[in-house]
Structure 1
Amino acid sequence: MSFSRMMATKVVGLLGESLTLEASKDSFTGKAHPSKVYSAVADLPNPLCKEQLTKRKQKSSIFRRRKTGKAAERPIRARKVIRKEKVETHRVHQNQVVSLLHAEQNASRSFCCVDRAFVELSKWAPNFVPRTLYDFESGVGSVPWAAISRWSKQLEEIHCIDSSKDMVNLAELLLKGGEAGGKFHVPQTYFRQLMSPTVNRTFDLVVSAHTLFEFPSLEARLDAHINLWRKTKDYYVLVELGTREGFKLIDEAKEFILFQSKKEGQEMHILAPCPHSLACPRLLREGDRSPCNFESRYYKLWPENDGEASKERFSFVILGKGRRKSPSPSWPRMVRAPMVRGGHVICSLCTPEGKLEDVTFTKSKDGRASFLCARYSDWGDLVPVSLRQKEFDVRDKVKKEKISENSDDAQKSEHQYVAADEGRPLVN
């Protein structure tokens, strides 16, 4: 017989005394463990809802009358409008059209992704309440609305930066409740078209959502990250599309800021989603081209939804300055939807050791509590278990050989057997 040494991931048990005590009860179901990230279907606040945008659309020139038996107002498709405006070379009017179409198509998506990131921020930094918000490339104001929905009474000042004047005008209108003469929900709300180069002013929360693809080069992106990181007092939140390219842009920003902070001797941490500060194991895995992304649900703003929630995948990272302000559990994060099978659950976990592991949970092997926690965890949740790498021997059947082997080969075979039995590395 020949022996080979292999590694496997073993579930040691639950982490946390309170959870262990709760799991010992017969009433424990695993549906409400403390590491679940509860994220309901994102629904836009009233000033961003369909009625306000419909009022705005009726005043816009992207609607015209078409005769189909009787006069009716119907929207022209975006590509036709843009083609027409290119011919007439009314650039300002084209920007107004694009801004409105962006609000109709992307406001709900952007809102649900940013709101999901804020859910993580509130859960793992429960004592953090931002007073000031800095939104880079604010678009139609999805980030301010997500912040107002979560910290409306505590927010004192909002700064929105967007290079498009027409986008700024639309965002101001929506943040005033859809009325040009209305008031901002946060009185100290300011809009700018350029980012101030001064770093004297810092903000509790700095957000850059769906903007990284707009930079023309790597150098421009890194310069923006440096400026935004210097404006950050507590947390810097980055949100991007859940494609592989979007994920790589998020990882690029994370690695660059980690490197820059280490170079300057500045302490920082990753609040979410990574349970570690090492290189992303998904990018290191050969042949794996799938991105590290997550899923959020929302109701479409336009066209009308039929009551069913749509899904949007996104990648994000939350970077914090200094040490963690609240203790964070060392739990692995579920980076794919669990595969529930008869009697077992297969979970893809990103571990605090910086590894990507496929772990199988069963009641008999891992215990009822660990199995139920894994069974009812969702994509993006932390799983409150402790993992450990365990070595074990695998015996391979070999064919019988003639006794014509020389003594050296026999001694080497005996040495391998003893080494495997004692747990020492094998020698070829």
Structure 2
Amino acid sequence: MEIPVDLLNGIEEESNKIPINKLISLVSDISNRYRNTDDKHISSYEEAIAYISYRMPATFAVIYAVLKDIKDICSNINPKSILDVGAGPGTAMWAATSIWNDIEQITLLEKNKNMIKIGKNLSANSNNSSIKNSIWLEADLENLSELPKHDIVIASYSIGELNEDVQSKIIKKLWESAANDILIIIEPGTKIGFSIIKRARETLISLGAHVIAPCPHANECPINDNDWCHFSSRVQRTSIHRKVKNGQLPYEDEKFSYICVSKKHCNMIKSRIIRHPQIRKGHIILDLCTKDGIKKVTVKKSDGDIYKKSRNSKWGSVFE
């Protein structure tokens, strides 16, 4: 996974508008606020620049990983239109066009004027005509009246910002009124983030949705209340990101939870690896989510091709 060069150039161009010491201070303030309070509001254009400098690459990596997984499972999916709700600076748009290069229509709903402004500035740097011609609408998810229909609807890191009592209502509206085919919901890979995804999954299945990923079934989720299902995506840190976060490692791992459903049947996977594979001498231990629940499977060297496949697998991989 590589972040598009025109997006990286756009982030750097915006970040250079603020002295580095001030940018570091803004990033620290936003990070502390996100971590310690319920305040997720970006109140100025400078804060929007700080946000994209340290968060956009990681969220791009997550959304890209989710969309790539969906494409691998259902190779016949070829969306012509994307709706991003709670779009922020338009991260999902950039990830989607990196997966499908013939998307014709992109609509982004965002309530924060500063995010819309920076999203448009980043779009202007793109070599992709769909991104350049994307439609930005100022809209609050809690007060949506009419929604345009699109092949894929993406709600990344936005449902969790709503009050719990309205989350199911919004999800139902996105599913019934906006999605021609697919709805994708992504949240942080935390216990709280997964609880949002788990409730969304239950709501969507009750509405007749077909589960595509990450689950290999549409049965009741086997993850108990003391645990949570999540995955991780690695992204190379940009030079500006290393500066503003004082990062020592050249990469960052972003944990996430998600659910993807469709209005059409898709061949379901047999199982998914939900923990890091434990590689031992002569065997590998895998924790799998299957249609029959959570299973711990030992694959021995004598198992031949299955063993070779297991050695190349990772946390989050589909396992057939």
TM > 0.5 fold call: yes
Letter aligned with residue 308 of structure 2: L
CA distance in 1, matches of 2:118, 2:56: 12
Q: Which runs of 5 or more residues in structure 2 are unaligned?
A: 31-40
* Partner of residue 224 from structure 1, selected from 155, 170, 176: 170
Letter aligned with residue 77 of structure 1: S
TM-score between the two structures when normalised by the length of structure 1: 0.65
Shift of 1:303: 2.3
TM-score between the two structures when normalised by the length of structure 2: 0.86
Q: Is the 8 A contact 2:107 2:135 kept in 1?
A: yes
Q: Is the 8 A contact 1:47 1:177 kept in 2?
A: yes
Q: Is the 8 A contact 2:187 2:257 kept in 1?
A: yes
Shift of 1:345: 1.0
Is 1:379 aligned with 2:315? yes
| Residues 126, 102 of structure 1: alpha-carbon distance in 2 compared, 3 angstrom cutoff | same
| Structure with higher helix content | 2
CA-to-aligned-CA distance 1:275-314 (integer Å, 9 cap, x gap): 0111111126xxxx33211111102231257783221111
Letter aligned with residue 313 of structure 1: K
* Partner of residue 3 from structure 2, selected from 25, 32, 44: 44
Counterpart residue number, 2:82? 133
Counterpart residue number, 2:300? 362
CA-to-aligned-CA distance 1:37-59 (integer Å, 9 cap, x gap): xxxxx33212321x433332343
Query: Which stretch of structure 1 is more off in the superposition, 370-379 or 242-251?
Result: 370-379
Q: Is the 8 A contact 1:335 1:350 kept in 2?
A: yes
| Residues 373, 109 of structure 1: alpha-carbon distance in 2 compared, 3 angstrom cutoff | same
Q: Is the 8 A contact 1:114 1:143 kept in 2?
A: yes
Aligned-partner SS, 1:139 = coil
* Partner of residue 149 from structure 1, selected from 98, 101, 124: 98
Aligned-partner SS, 1:44 = coil
Shift of 1:371: 2.5
Q: Is the 8 A contact 2:58 2:252 kept in 1?
A: no
Shift of 1:80: 8.2
Letter aligned with residue 100 of structure 1: I
CA-to-aligned-CA distance 1:147-176 (integer Å, 9 cap, x gap): 111222x11111101110011000000011
Counterpart residue number, 2:214? 273
Shift of 1:240: 1.0
Is 1:161 aligned with 2:109? yes
Q: Is the 8 A contact 2:44 2:114 kept in 1?
A: yes
Letter aligned with residue 108 of structure 1: P
Aligned-partner SS, 2:242 = coil
| Residues 94, 320 of structure 1: alpha-carbon distance in 2 compared, 3 angstrom cutoff | closer
Is 1:296 aligned with 2:238? no
Q: Is the 8 A contact 2:151 2:182 kept in 1?
A: yes
Larger Rg belongs to: 1
Q: Whose RCO is larger (CA < 8 A, sep 6+)?
A: 1
**Identity percentage of aligned residues:** 23
Aligned-partner SS, 2:44 = helix
CA-to-aligned-CA distance 1:4-39 (integer Å, 9 cap, x gap): xxxxxxxxxxxxxxxxxxxxxxxxxxxxxxxxxxxx
Alignment of 1:186-201 (within 5 A): 186=131, 188-194=133-139, 196-198=144-146, 201=148
Q: Is the 8 A contact 1:269 1:277 kept in 2?
A: yes
Counterpart residue number, 1:69? none
Alignment of 1:19-30 (within 5 A): none
* Partner of residue 257 from structure 1, selected from 188, 199, 204: 204
| Residues 309, 80 of structure 1: alpha-carbon distance in 2 compared, 3 angstrom cutoff | closer
CA distance in 2, matches of 1:115, 1:241: 15
